[in-house]
Amino acid sequence: MNVSEIKGSTNNLLELDWSGIDTEQVALVPIPITSQPNAYIRTKWADREYGLTRSAQLSLARSGNKILARLEWDKVDGNASEKEDGFDGEFTDAAAIFFPLDFVANGQGDQPGAAPLTIGTHQAPVRLWYWRDQLPIQRDLPPIKELYASGPGVFRPNLNESVRSNKDVATTASLSVQALKSDNHWTVVISGEYEGANNIEKMGIAIWDGSNQERAGIGSVSPQWIGLEQTGRL
């Protein structure tokens, strides 16, 4: 999909003018049960349906060194798994966009299965911008954070030193998000500074249905990279 400069101010993310910006319907699949990080999760979810969100609409734009992503999807109505004891209402809906790190983008990060289906691997981690709807008790916490993902649910605020090695990984100066839920339809707009935003060539998305107790490696993901073509490069 084409990534163009967006018009006007980016202060109010839900009011952005997306006219002329490419939009793509992205198919999603459950993150593979065989890729889950431990036997407990693989056993617990082996016979449970998850990854209920099977598609999402993506619009992507630039504003200088900012990347702006608009995600829209419908929650599945009445198809959630049976509630777990003690977890009723604890988990909320969540979404993320992610990018291959520069130092693996043309190396092991392109190996089959490395990402995005598993949201990265230890050898080929990805940069993840993760938004989560908040419970009332969480209102003082940031609704979005940058993480490094090296597999399903293996999300950390920093790269492991063994992975980082001597590589220079640019950090994100700031992230912001605005989200709106109308009936069962979510609109989430994520904005973040990304050095070299006009050179990003691919990305992935993931969505978690909180009413189905989806979290960490239990969710929906784009099974292939979403290819990006930059227009009007800076």
The CA angle 173-210-214, to the nearest 5 degrees, is: 90
Distances (CA, A) of 33 to 155, 196, 203: 17, 34, 22
Q: pLDDT, tens digit, for every residue of 51-65?
A: 999 999 999 999 988
Considering only CA atoms, which of 197, 188, 13, 174 is closest in space to residue 99?
Answer: 197
Q: Residue 114's pLDDT is what?
A: 56
Neighbours of 32 (CB within 10 A): 16
In the DSSP assignment, the letter for residue 13 is G
42 CB-near residues (< 8 Å, 6+ apart): 33, 34, 36
Average pLDDT, the chain: 85
DSSP H/E element including 16? none
Answer yes or no: is pLDDT of 163 > 60. Answer: no
Query: How many Å apart are CA 12 and CA 25, to the nearest integer?
Result: 24
The pLDDT of residue 92 is: 95
pLDDT digits (tens, 9 = 90+) for 90-133: 899 999 999 988 655 444 444 544 568 999 988 888 999 999 99
Compute and round to an integer the Cα radius of gyration of the chain.
17
CATH of 2-230, one of 3.40.50.10860, 3.40.50.300, 1.10.10.10, 2.60.40.1190: 2.60.40.1190
In angstroms, the CA 154 to CA 95 distance is: 15
Where along the chain do its domains lie?
A: 2-230
Average the pLDDT over each of 17-26, 41-50, 104-113 and give the range with the smallest value.
104-113
Residue 55 bridge partners (DSSP): 27
210 pLDDT exceeds 80?
A: yes
At residue 11 the predicted structure's pLDDT band, cuts being 50, 70 and 90, is confident
Strands 94-100 and 202-208: antiparallel
pLDDT category at 196 given cuts 50, 70, 90 is confident
